[in-house]
Structure 1
Amino acid sequence: MGLKKLFETFFADKTILITGHTGFIGSWLSICLNELGANLIGYALPPLTTEDNFVVTNLQQKMSSIIGDVRDFNLINNIFKEYQPDIVYHLAAQPIVGESYSNPKDTYDINIGGTVNILEAFRINKNAKILINFTSDKCYENQEKEDGYKEEDRIGGFDPYSSSKGCSELITSAYRNSFFKSGSSAVNKRLSSVRSGNVIGGGDWQKDRLIPDCMRALKNNELLTIRNPQYIRPWQFVLEPIYGMLLLTKNMWHENEKYSGAWNFGPENNRMFTVKDIIEKIGTYIGNFNKKIVFEKKKEDIHETKLLCLDSSKANRELGWQNILSIEETIKFVCGWYMERNPNYGFNVKQIKNYFDKV
């Protein structure tokens, strides 16, 4: 159908604040919204590398980019006051499970305290109408469920990262119930949270993630040891949950409270694949890639979920959202970005067009 045909002029000229805009998902969201004509403000730490999507697409020239820490409430509140955003997407986070074991306090300060700062600024600044908190599929209490977690399932988290995302969900729910229900002074505000699958796509160079680790090994002509290749994850292309968030935003804007709440945007259970499956599928697009991989199953010092699935039937039913790409199409998009000599803004827009033409 196409991105612009789907959303027409809905986002045009709306002022939108994205925290974490220099990150992987935040940069792709920023490009989509820029193409839809939004006035964008970003708030985040600097990008990790000069190869990050935010840098190679020159996004800093296409939006108001403010470098800052999500733990700085005064700066965040001043941004709300100065720019008066209509819509807020909160993606800024410490996103790595392993890092949460090394620095648990920072993880909790950023993922919990940062969420409180954004929610509080949203609460006290009248112009902001919609906030979507992007959390994680790891926010659920892990039970190794084969049928997928539903939005009403118990929130938990074994490790510091996962539990910090569970806490972020609880705080979001508490703010929604306490301040943004009918009869409250902020009844015109709508608040939701989004839980996606294992998001993959171009421009991600974060450490301890499968795709970036693979692409670094390929680039540096190094062997890569893959731990626990039989672990199952809900892999999905980065534009799948972004499509969901954009649909959710439009519905939240037009309906008072109906669409405020928690939402899963993950692949169907028959699209679950192991780490080894993904490696082998990458090998079909990149010659001799599998020769650079060493698989091993070893006892880890840190806990990791073996099976992680989401039930997205609520989004299917109430938003008309579904995953568009097969896993083969997803890997083709991902490998296409990393093998591109010049993955600039125009190349990203081309991938966005190719994806939304399938919707």
Structure 2
Amino acid sequence: MESLPSSSFWQGKRVFLTYPTSFLGAWTALCLQHLGAQVFGFSETAGKNPNLFDLTNLAQSISMTYGDLRDEESFRQVLQFAQADVVLHLGETGLLTEAEKKPLDIIAKSVMGTATLLELLRETASVRSVVVVSSDKVYERNPENKALVETDKVGAGDLLPTSKLCSELIALSYRQTFFNPDKYNKHKIAVASARLGAGIGGGDFSETSLIPQAVQSFLNKKNFEIRNPNSVRPWIHVLDQVSGILKLAEALYVKGPKLSPTYNLGAAEYESVGEVMKEFSQIWGTTWSSVSESAGKGSLSLHGQMSSELAAKDLGWKPQWDLTKALAETAKWYQGYYSGRSSVGELTSVMRGYF
């Protein structure tokens, strides 16, 4: 079984993508273009500048429509125009701090945006495969810290992953009610969800994400202080995540209802923040930069481990890049960007090296 998405499958496919303006969304749209797909995007405008979507001029290279996913009529028109084969619903994205400032907005977009999409797909005859992206933080806390599998308990947590869980449950409810695998010959739509954590890679400009913070410290020749250097986190390049999403969508299209309703697409490596930031500093190539522990410690964050054995078995998917390679490619992109090289050219080079 091929471990990467098939270019022969994606060549010429019409793909409808929500939130291509996000970090994950921009990478997904670029990869789909690289594989020869025709991409149709629908979301609100990118919230902050700079952002990868605008830097790579995706609004000019894909069929892009700006709007609110809760606007049923606009959503219907875009879907009817796209006549997509595959739908990738990346969902509302953002930071926990932002979600806490506007909780009703985040919840409404996650819940009603997903429900509107799935309801409109009942009217869309062309679609065969639907992937709804969820979060690795939907699982209940695991005191034993064992690797979580898809059948482990889920539950409410922080606002952002909980809204993702609501979105996932709505999608799976539609799967059971309207797109039931037992009636696949009637509706011809296969639906599944994919649980992902935060990925790293070039083009992330979030002010609270570790990699962009480190980059700014290195560029400004400042010491990079970390609140919780001993906090162990999952580390995975965003290209591996995109690859998993596309592998799942491809399998749903080919195999239909034979797949599981949910797949973990998790990292293969879990390392401490302090060690990873020190390695990133060394890869960056600076002799003056250093990483240290902040005087004001924060609470140790908990990141449960996900088992991706089911995705390996059913999809043939696993991360292709180890942590050192992921960090090296990430550093290479930022160094190219801040040296004035083309964002598109840098990303094309990365994708060629991956695919």
Q: Same fold (TM over 0.5)?
A: yes
Number of the residue aligned with 2:130: 131
How has the CA–CA distance of structure 1 residues 213 and 331 changed in structure 2, closer, same or farther, with 3 Å as cutoff?
same
Kept in 1: contact 2:223–2:289 (CA 8 A): no
Listed one character per residue, the Cα deviations across residues 96-146 of structure 1 (whole Å, up to 9, x for unaligned) are 122222222122112222222222222332222211111111111222553
The answer to whether the 8 Å contact 1:223/1:294 transfers is no
2: distance between equivalents of 1:76 and 1:233?
37
- Aligned pairs (5 A) from 1:24-39: 24-39=23-38
Residue 179 (structure 1) aligned with residue 175 (structure 2): no
Residue matched to 2:210 = 210
Q: 2:122 is paired with a residue of what secondary structure?
A: helix
Q: For 1:288-307, list aligned pairs within 5 A.
A: 288=287, 290-291=289-290, 294-296=293-295, 298-299=297-298, 305-307=301-303
* Residues 1:80 and 2:66 are matched in the alignment: no
* CA positional deviation for 1:75: 1.4
2:303 is the counterpart of 1:315 = no
Secondary structure of 2:10 counterpart:
coil
Contact 2:5 2:247 in 1 (8 A): no
1:327 match: 323
Whole-angstrom CA distance in 2 between matches of 1:289 and 1:151: 44
Give the conservation status (yes or no) of the 8 Å contact 2:222–2:289: no
Give 1:83 deviation, angstroms. Answer: 1.8
Deviations 1:147-174 (A, max 9, x none): 2211111121321112112212211211
Paired position in structure 1 for 2:258: 258
Contact 2:16-2:41 within 8 A present in 1 as well: yes
Q: For residue 160 of structure 1, what is the aligned residue in structure 2?
A: 159
Alignment of 1:221-300 (within 5 A): 224-268=224-268, 271-286=269-284, 287-288=286-287, 290-291=289-290, 294-296=293-295, 298-299=297-298
In structure 2, how many angstroms separate the alpha carbons of the residues matched to 1:220 and 1:121? 49
- Distance between the aligned counterparts of 1:89 and 1:19, measured in 2? 7
1:73 Cα shift?
2.5
Deviation at 1:205, TM superposition (A): 1.0
The CA RMSD measured in Å over matched residues stands at 2.4
| Identity score, percent | 28
Alpha-carbon spacing, 1:188–1:306, altered in 2? closer, same or farther (3 Å): same
Equivalent runs, 1:10-25 vs 2, <5 Å:
10-25=9-24
Matched, 1:146 2:145: yes
The residue number in structure 1 matching 2:121 is 122
Aligned to 1:188: 188
The answer for unaligned runs of 5 or more in structure 1 is none
Residue 76 of structure 1 deviates from its aligned partner by 1.2
TM-score after normalising by structure 1 = 0.89
Is contact 1:279-1:290 (8 Å) kept? no
1:283-320 deviation per Cα after TM superposition (whole angstroms, max 9, x unaligned): 111214743655356355xxx84132110000111111
Task: State the shift of 1:225 in Å.
Answer: 4.1
Query: Within 2, Cα distance between the matches of 1:101 and 1:349?
Result: 36
Query: In the TM superposition, what is the alpha-carbon distance from 1:344 to its structure 2 partner?
Result: 2.1
Change (3 A) 1:38 1:237: same
Structure 2: distance between partners of 1:207 and 1:120: 36
Cα distance in 1, alignment partners of residues 206 and 43 from structure 2: 15
Runs of 4+ in 1 over 6 A off after TM superposition: none
Matched length: 350
- Point out the more displaced range, 235-244 or 102-111: 102-111
How far apart, CA to CA, are the structure 2 residues paired with 1:290 and 1:145? Answer: 37
In structure 2, C-alpha distance between the alignment counterparts of 1:180 and 1:335, rounded to whole Å: 43
Preserved contact between residue 144 and residue 306 of structure 1 (Cα < 8 Å): no
Shift of the 292–256 alpha-carbon distance from structure 1 to 2, 3 Å rule, reads closer
Higher mean C-alpha displacement, 144-153 vs 23-32: 144-153
Higher deviation after alignment, 42-51 or 291-300:
291-300
Does the 8 Å CA contact 1:156/1:162 hold for their aligned counterparts?
Answer: no
**Deviating more after overlay: 150-159 vs 140-149:** 140-149
What is the CA deviation profile of residues 36-69 of structure 1, one whole-angstrom value per residue up to 9, with x for unaligned ones?
A: 2211111122224443222222222211111222
| Higher deviation after alignment, 322-331 or 137-146 | 137-146
Q: Aligned to 2:152, what secondary structure does the other structure show?
A: coil
Query: Which 5+ residue runs of structure 2 have no aligned equivalent?
Result: none
